[in-house]
Amino acid sequence: MGIFNWGQKRGLVAAAASGASLLETSQLATWEESAPLTALALSDLYGQNFQLPITRKVAMAIPAVAKARNLICSKVAGFPLVAMTGATPTPRPSSWLSQIQPGRPNFITLSWIVDGLIFWGRAWLHVTDRAADGRPSKFEFVPEWNAEVVNGELVAINGKQINPKDVVRIDAHHEGILNFAKDAIRAAAEMEAAALRTAHNPVPTIELHQTAGDQLTDDEIDALVAHWANARKSKDGAVGFTNQSVEVKVHGVPAEQLMITGRNTAALNIARIMGLSAWAVDAAVDGSSLTYSSVPARSRELVEYGLQPYMDAITARLSMDDLLPAGQWCRFDTTQLLRESFTERMNGYKAAQEAQVYTSDECRQLENGIPLEGNK
């Protein structure tokens, strides 16, 4: 039966047909690492129309997906995690909030946590050490390709069994784009593949058309074309000459040849499934007149509609009592991204002082990022 036994094949096909993620099966590593061989075997068995499930590798090969993923992950990971007690910053926060995984910056760890939420709708942390009160003090991030999941629970990492009590599962607000948006991702991938085929097989933009004289041989035609092409690369390439036997026809490149409209539509669909505006993936919307008066306005839209769901998913889970003491919670500090320009801030402070809402010292605290609640 080839490289798979029948039970494995049947399980893989059932997972694909039901739309279930292969992360739920034990064949993940084989599927990810030997995709071409797997595709060949399954297409032979079940026909050329058999479609493999969309993987992260396929999705990330799509420029719009890569840009959206990198934008969301880098922005969320760039915000510092701040511990709070009620409405005030916690004086002595848990050390792991500033470094979740030992030896790894929070920017990297948080980036991959968001990555897991985007693609699979979940992310895993494994507790590697605990404090005296029993709460975790150190974690390690577990990527999906190293996770063995049974009934939605992480049971092993790289084949090594772990204690379920040492697992922290962070759930997204959706089931992962590899599950709910596989058709849109497949369409975008096929569009990129079509564009690549077109690039490999371009339609000539210039035709040297013989109008008179003896028919040229194949070797003469090749020599003429090569001479013309090389002349166009010279410093005087903008000027050419033909005699009465040759006519130059310029065809140009039709828009459909570049697949501009189709690729733009695919990028728009990717932006929609990512919860981002078209500008975030460099896509254009016909008839759109949306403009932004300032960078903070665009940043605010990005945070509220694209980043906030992932930020809330992470902080909500990290704020639970099994990780932080009762009464404490954590949040992402987005001040640096959302703050107004210097001139706007100064005008605001001036108006606040004139209205006797804030004193000059309080305005100075706000400018330095010190919450006023902490001094009351």
* CATH of the domain spanning 204-252, picked from 3.20.20.140, 3.40.190.10, 3.40.605.10, 3.30.1120.70: 3.30.1120.70
Angle at Cα 374 formed by Cα 371 and Cα 376, nearest 5°? Answer: 120
pLDDT confidence bin for 47, thresholds 50/70/90 = low
Q: Is the pLDDT of residue 203 over 70?
A: no
- pLDDT for position 145: 95
- 224 touches 236 (CB < 8 A): no
Cβ neighbours of residue 269 closer than 8 Å, sequence gap 6 or more: 184, 187, 188
Query: Which of the pair, 10 or 315, is modelled with greater confidence?
Result: 315
- What pLDDT, in 10s, does the model give residues 103-121? 999 999 999 999 999 999 9
Q: Is the pLDDT of residue 70 over 60?
A: yes
Q: For residue 329, what are the CA distances in angstroms to 29, 81, 86, 172?
A: 37, 10, 8, 18
- pLDDT for position 250: 79
For residue 161, the cross-strand partners are 156
| N-terminal to C-terminal alpha carbon distance within the chain | 74
- pLDDT for position 29: 35
Q: Is the pLDDT of residue 244 over 70?
A: yes
Listed in order, the ranges of the chain carrying CATH 3.30.1120.70 are 204-252
Mean predicted confidence (pLDDT) in 340-345: 77
Q: Is the pLDDT of residue 363 over 50?
A: yes
